């Protein structure tokens, strides 16, 4: 059968259009199939990008599968595979955080073994920060804001936290510092580990500082001898007295006395008289520390000791120390209230504030009359400024405006300043 020419042309054009449409449709599908062939269901990077899709997807899912297939004895194979598939610093951080927080539940040894398998220092720091957050119950933001990470490094902050919690020994903390830290951060962590160990094992504690030089060594020795003096002040003092450098020796003897006075003020005061630090500045500072600590427990004994010091500068320093804890004032301890006003936190027994019967803990301090008689609004001043206005010479008057915690009408109370006396057992 013959097809008319016009009809044949129509059929030919239709066929071309149909074939072309099929190619246009099929072409992209072929390209898509070709490109998707290497992407298997197990691709960790693809899953990581889909973070948050479901509980088995995203970084958490990738991390969980990496830990599972790597295992604690797989020599990091799973970890290396996972990290290799995660691109970008933020993605890596999220991946490591999701991996190591669950590892924290397996204990310090297992978790730190996995940290050591990571390929670079930045990844190890991220992992240790995640562990510290999990063990301490703090977020990364809270940890950074606390300042320990900046001062001691991530490894140092982790080691000190575990040491203070009793999970890691001082020796293990020092080993962690030597492995992961350098410079000032390493020296600071070693100093604190030695300080804690010195009370029970001064020989091992002292050896932790081997290799430290100059000011780092001096700081290390200061903390070491403080820890030793907390348990055996006489032994620590005998060792410090043998240090060759005069200024270092004076500093260490001062640290022994400053530690001893916390436990036995009388013994520390007698030791100061028998063998005071040679350096003048250190001696004055030590006299102030002894007097301040002693005056908070037994003001009269501290005052008598200070008055009998042979050196004038030492006496002045000791008296300043006494005034810092037993000042001439009214005997009221202040704290900042929620509304910004100072609040009478405690009244010292036997003080003008206590004896007057006009003041009670919880009273809000509205204003203080200065030397010229002008009322100074205490809301606009720091606690230190307010205390400075209240303190003064003995037997001079001071007026304060207070309001009871129940919000009753403000009242003016005028008292005479006296030397505050702390007595043993009070």
Integer Cα distance of 399 and 333 in angstroms:
16
Q: What pLDDT does 119 receive?
A: 87
| 426 residues of the chain, pLDDT tens digit each | 444 444 443 433 444 333 344 333 333 322 333 333 333 333 333 333 333 333 333 333 433 443 333 333 334 444 544 455 555 567 778 888 888 988 999 999 999 999 999 988 988 999 999 999 999 999 888 988 889 999 999 999 999 999 999 999 999 999 999 999 999 999 999 999 999 999 999 999 999 999 898 899 999 999 999 999 999 999 999 999 999 999 999 999 999 999 999 989 999 999 999 988 989 999 999 999 999 999 999 999 999 999 999 888 999 999 999 999 999 999 999 999 888 899 999 998 889 999 999 999 999 999 998 778 889 999 888 999 999 999 998 899 999 999 998 888 999 999 999 999 998 876
Nearest to 337 by CA among 370, 377, 383, 390: 383
Helices (H), 118-244: 121-136, 140-146, 148-165, 170-180, 183-198, 202-207, 214-229, 233-240
CB atoms near residue 349 (< 10 Å): 12
Q: Are 187 and 204 in contact (CB under 8 A)?
A: no
Phi–psi pair at 197, nearest 5 degrees: -85, -25
N-terminal to C-terminal alpha carbon distance within the chain? 127
pLDDT of residue 88: 59
Residue 293 backbone dihedrals phi, psi, to 5 degrees: -65, -40
CA dihedral 236, 184, 216, 274 (to 10 degrees): -40
| 207-to-127, 186, 197, 198, 212 alpha-carbon distances in Å | 30, 14, 11, 10, 10
Q: Give the pLDDT confidence score for residue 53 in this predicted structure.
A: 34
Query: Which tokens is 419 given?
Result: 């030397």
Give CA–CA dist 255/425, Å, rounded.
Answer: 26
pLDDT score recorded for residue 284: 93
Strands 418-419 and 328-329: antiparallel
Q: Are 48 and 62 in contact (CB under 8 A)?
A: yes
Alpha-carbon distance 231 to 148, whole Å? 27
DSSP string, 245-312: SHHHHHHHHHHHHHHHHHH-HHHHHHHHHHS--SSHHHHHHHHHHHHHHHHTT-HHHHHHHHHT-SSH
Q: How far apart, in whole angstroms, are the C-alpha atoms of residue 42 and residue 375?
A: 76
| Contact between residue 177 and residue 186 where contact means Cβ atoms under 8 Å apart | yes
Query: What pLDDT is attached to residue 291?
Result: 95
Vertex 201, ends 162 and 153: CA angle to 5°?
30
For the chain, the helix, strand and coil percentages under 3-state DSSP, each to the nearest 5:
65, 10, 30
Q: Which residues sit opposite 329 in a β-bridge?
A: 418
Report CA-CA distances (Å) from 109 to 63, 73, 116, 128, 186: 19, 12, 11, 12, 21
In angstroms, the CA 158 to CA 117 distance is: 18
Q: Which residues have a Cβ under 8 Å from the Cβ of 31 and sit 6 or more positions away?
A: none
pLDDT for residue 286 = 93
Report if pTM > 0.95.
no
């Amino acid at each position: 059968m013959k097809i008319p020419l016009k009809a044949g042309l129509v059929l030919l054009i239709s066929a071309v259009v149909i074939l072309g449409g099929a190619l246009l449709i099929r072409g992209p599908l072929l390209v898509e199939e070709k490109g998707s062939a290497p992407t298997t269901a197990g691709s960790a990077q693809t899953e990581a990008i889909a973070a948050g899709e479901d509980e088995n997807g995203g970084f958490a899912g990738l991390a969980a599968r990496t830990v599972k297939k790597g295992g604690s004895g797989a020599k990091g194979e799973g970890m290396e595979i996972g990290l290799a598939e995660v691109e970008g610093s933020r993605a890596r951080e999220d991946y490591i955080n999701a991996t190591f927080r669950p590892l924290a539940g397996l204990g310090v040894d297992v978790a730190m073994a996995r940290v050591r398998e990571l390929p670079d220092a930045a990844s190890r720091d991220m992992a240790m920060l995640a562990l510290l957050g999990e063990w301490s119950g703090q977020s990364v933001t809270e940890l950074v804001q606390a300042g320990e990470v900046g001062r001691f490094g991530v490894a140092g902050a982790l080691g000190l936290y575990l040491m203070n919690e009793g999970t890691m020994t001082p020796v293990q903390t020092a080993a962690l510092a030597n492995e992961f830290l350098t410079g000032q951060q390493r020296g600071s962590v070693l100093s604190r580990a030695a300080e804690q160990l010195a009370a029970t094992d001064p020989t091992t504690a002292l050896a932790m500082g081997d290799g430290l030089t100059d000011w780092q060594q001096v700081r290390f020795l200061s903390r070491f001898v403080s820890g030793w003096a907390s348990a055996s002040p006489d032994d620590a003092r005998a060792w410090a007295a043998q240090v060759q450098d005069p200024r270092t020796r004076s500093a260490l003897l001062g640290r022994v006395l400053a530690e001893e006075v916390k436990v036995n003020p009388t013994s520390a005061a007698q030791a100061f008289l028998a063998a005071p630090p040679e350096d003048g500045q250190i001696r004055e500072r030590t006299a102030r520390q002894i007097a301040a600590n002693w005056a908070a427990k037994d003001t009269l004994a501290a005052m008598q000791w200070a008055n009998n010091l042979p050196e004038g500068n030492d006496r002045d320093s000791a008296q300043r120390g006494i005034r810092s804890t037993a000042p001439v004032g009214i005997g009221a301890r202040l704290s900042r209230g929620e509304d910004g006003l100072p609040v009478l936190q405690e009244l010292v027994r036997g003080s003008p504030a206590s004896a007057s019967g006009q003041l009670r803990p919880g009273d809000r301090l509205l204003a203080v009359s200065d030397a010229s008689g002008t009322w100074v609004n205490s809301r606009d001043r720091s606690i230190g400024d307010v205390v400075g206005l209240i303190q003064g010479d003995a037997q001079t008057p001071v007026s304060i405006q207070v309001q009871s915690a129940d919000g009753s009408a403000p009242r003016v109370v005028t008292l005479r300043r006296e030397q505050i006396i702390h007595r043993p057992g009070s």
